[in-house]
Amino acid sequence: MATRLFSPESPLDLFLTFALVGFIAQLADSALGMGFGVISASVLLAQGVPPPLVSASVNAAKVPTGIVAGISHALNGNIDKALFGRLALAGAAGGIIGALILGELKRPVLTVIIGGYLLLIGGLILWRGLSGRAPRLLATGRISALGATGGLIEGIGGSWGPVVTSGLISAGHEPRRAIGSSALAELVVSLTVFLALMAGYHLGRWGTGRDLHEVLLPVAGLVAGGVPAALVGGRLAAIAPRRPLTVAVGVLAIGIGLQRLASLL
């Protein structure tokens, strides 16, 4: 049994705790183009929730928050339609592959992969926050490859933004359009990943006895907290202090990654 990060005493406490997590995570995501998946998945993993259920839960929560965030970014002129289309199409394909991989791997292997992934992504986010520069993850112009890679990571770990948004900014795209286009494409990818994971769940391919009802309150809390933060997402992308938020998200991801790997000892 994994050690839990916190143990709310009642269903209301659980709901309110995840509402706070969702609000903070979405504020970071709106400002940085990343954060909701990393923060939400990290907290759920620290609660001992199996990785397939974590990915399904995070992607389910991203659908309503993504709709609101996408509208906000569109109203603020942060969407590049051509960029969005290429990212969404390639990302959806990568997301399906990631969801299939996630459903086939055994828990110890998944723990190592996701723990190592959190350390890597957390390190990249932390480096970005401390240096003030986005890490160059893929060569300039390879938008479809970037989207497919982001979709693959989204399917496995629920974290599209650290790969895609950072890649777009490092390739020279205007930050607000990179954040807005990535956020809207993420909505398409998250819905695709969620549906693929649900299909795997109903086919009995998750390899876990944990059921969906166990994360209904956490998901509801993430949505309840994330939607109000997403309402101001488009504006926040232009005015929020990025460096402190980036460093905080990076440190959290690294800490949870270490905790997940330590759970194998």
Q: What is the pLDDT of residue 122?
A: 78
pLDDT tens-digit readout, 94-128: 999 988 887 666 667 767 876 787 788 778 778 87
154 with 94: CB under 8 angstroms? yes
Residue 6 is assigned to a structural domain of this protein: no
pTM of the model: 0.75
Which of 224, 177, 247, 239 is closest to 40 using CA atoms? 224
Distance (Å, whole) CA 175 – CA 170: 9
Residue 123 is assigned to a structural domain of this protein: yes
Residue 222 is assigned to a structural domain of this protein: yes
Residue 72 is assigned to a structural domain of this protein: yes
pLDDT tens-digit readout, 130-154: 887 766 655 545 889 889 988 988 8
Distance (Å, whole) CA 37 – CA 35: 6
64 has pLDDT over 70: yes
Q: What is the DSSP letter of 33?
A: S
pLDDT tens-digit readout, 240-249: 676 776 777 6
Domain that holds residue 77: 11-263
Residue 5 is assigned to a structural domain of this protein: no
Cα distances from 117 to residues 106, 163, 228, in angstroms, run 16, 11, 29
Domain count across the chain: 1
